[in-house]
Amino acid sequence: MLGLNNAVTEKNNFYGNTDPIKLVEKYGSPLYVYNETIFRERCRELKNLVTYKNFSVNYSVKANGNLSLLKIAKEEGLNADAMSPGEIYVEELAGFKPEDILYISNNVSAEEMQFAIDRDITISVDSLSQLEMYGKLNTGGKICIRFNPGVGAGHHEKVVTGGKKTKFGVAIEDIPVVKDILKTYNLNLIGINQHIGSLFMDGDKYIEGAQSILSIAKNFDDLEFIDMGGGFGIPYKKLSSEPRLDLQHLGKELDKVLHQFAEEYGKEVTFKIEPGRYISAECGVLLGEVHSIKENYGITYVGTDIGFNVLKRPVMYDSHHDIEVYRKDNIPSKNSHPVTLVGNICESGDILAQDRLLPQIMEKDIIGVLDSGAYGYCMASNYNNRLRPAEVLIDSQGNDRLVRRRDTYEDLVRNFDI
Ligand SMILES: *Cc1c(COP(=O)(O)O)cnc(C)c1O
């Protein structure tokens, strides 16, 4: 196999005992490939972020809810966040216990709330009206509230989830009303949380955010935990040597803040973080096949089977993913060209990478879309009645194993009355 532009997966021995060409021959294309060793490393890095003792890493499984990965996260001692009853269901299957799960709800129905109450899973509510709903359903129960500190951060406006212009959290000025509702329904506020946005690369922003939630915490006497949110970024531009988030610096600074707060608060609260992307993004590469190459009005289009039904991030968030190229035959590319990589969906916006300088690409080449392990498969759809791809795990021994089969045509019609 000839690898072009493939320094990243070569360096971390991403494909173990196999290679991308063999994987596509064996499992078909497109194909999500996950590397267990990298996934475990990320879990461990965050588990060891601080020295503060009562510290919990709640994996935000919406980033990648593959059952095999969830089981590994559980093995690594992580807890889990859920955004829906469906996520709770899958987390329980993976072995997470009710006390390992925090249900961060957003505009949910009474039935969905009841689903968590029945299982004794802690719920974080997102508004005064949902706090009241909870109070009626579970008077005298324990509750967590998501606050919006009025500041946000993130790589794209669609992922900024704190600040004055987002739908999330309870505003600080509503704290007196919160207290009234808690009293009315005899609720015990055991935790507060926030999540101000996704993909920060500057740890100081996170510290600032942590300080805001800690200052909110001082309004409440009896908290068991404070959850500072996720959003830990990863370098998507590895080929241009984008630096990593400085976890060591972040951990050191965070540690100081946490110890100081615990001392002032006079109680050993548990601190939680809720990372999604940081845990799973870099363990994933999405493989796809080049079906056509054409030149239209001066632009070279490389046509692949990776439409936005398979990977939505570039279309949804204008995201950049580095691209590797793998070739079965040992024919070298003569030079590099700027090309636009597109998928097979009937929409002009179906663009994976625009104007990207890549080694000359040939038909039948396999491309690898790096850092696709977060918000990849989980956002895939059957749009255009395409089949969602399979997922494969390269285990710690370097062996490949199917961890979710590709959709079949029968899957497309399963819910019809036929
Ligand atoms: C999505 C989400 C996260 C995880 O965000 P990442 O950027 O993937 O770390 C954490 N908390 C909440 C409430 C979320 O909605």
Give the model confidence (pLDDT) of 162-187 as tens digits: 777 778 899 999 999 999 999 999 99
The preferred substitution site among 58, 102, 192, 195 for testing ligand 1, maximizing ligand atoms within 8 Å of CB, is: 195
Task: Specify if 417 maps to a domain.
Answer: no
Co-location of 74 and 60 in the same domain = yes
Task: Specify if 232 maps to a domain.
Answer: yes
62 pocket-lining for ligand 1 (C-beta < 6 Å): yes
Return the CATH number at 344.
2.40.37.10
CB neighbours of 375 closer than 8 A, spacing ≥ 6? 63, 64, 276, 277, 281, 312, 313
231 pocket-lining for ligand 1 (C-beta < 6 Å): yes
Q: How far apart are CA 87 and CA 387, in angstroms?
A: 22
Query: End of a domain among 279, 294, 310?
Result: 279
pLDDT of residue 154: 62
Co-location of 150 and 52 in the same domain = yes
The string of pLDDT tens digits covering residues 59-109 is 999 999 999 999 999 999 999 999 999 999 999 999 999 999 999 999 999
Return the CATH number at 223.
3.20.20.10
pLDDT of residue 167: 82
Co-location of 213 and 90 in the same domain = yes
Counted residue by residue, the chain has a size of 418
The preferred substitution site among 56, 59, 60 for testing ligand 1, maximizing ligand atoms within 8 Å of CB, is: 60
> Which is the closest atom of ligand 1 to the Cα of 146?
13
Co-location of 138 and 151 in the same domain = yes
155 pocket-lining for ligand 1 (C-beta < 6 Å): no
pLDDT of residue 166: 79
Q: Which residues are catalytic?
A: 346
pLDDT of residue 313: 97
Q: How far apart are CA 69 and CA 62, in angstroms?
A: 12
Task: Specify if 48 maps to a domain.
Answer: yes
Co-location of 275 and 295 in the same domain = no
Co-location of 275 and 143 in the same domain = yes
Task: Specify if 418 maps to a domain.
Answer: no
Co-location of 369 and 339 in the same domain = yes
198 pocket-lining for ligand 1 (C-beta < 6 Å): yes
Co-location of 153 and 288 in the same domain = no
Q: Rounded to two decimals, what is the model's pTM?
A: 0.96
pLDDT of residue 199: 87
pLDDT of residue 324: 98
Task: Specify if 383 maps to a domain.
Answer: yes
Residues of the chain with pLDDT under 70: 152-155, 159-161
Co-location of 304 and 233 in the same domain = no
Domains of the chain: total: 2
Residue 353 lies in domain: 2-34+282-412
Query: End of a domain among 261, 279, 297?
Result: 279
> Which is the closest atom of ligand 1 to the Cα of 274?
10
Name which residue sits closest to atom 3 of ligand 1, judged by CA: 230
Co-location of 82 and 217 in the same domain = yes
The string of pLDDT tens digits covering residues 357-389 is 999 999 999 999 999 999 999 999 999 999 999
User: What's the gap in Å between 293 CA and the centre of ligand 1?
Assistant: 38
Co-location of 302 and 369 in the same domain = yes
Co-location of 304 and 403 in the same domain = yes
Cβ atoms within 10 Å of 311's Cβ, excluding its own = 26
Query: End of a domain among 279, 301, 318?
Result: 279
pLDDT of residue 149: 85
Nearest of 119, 155, 147, 149 to residue 277 by alpha carbon: 155
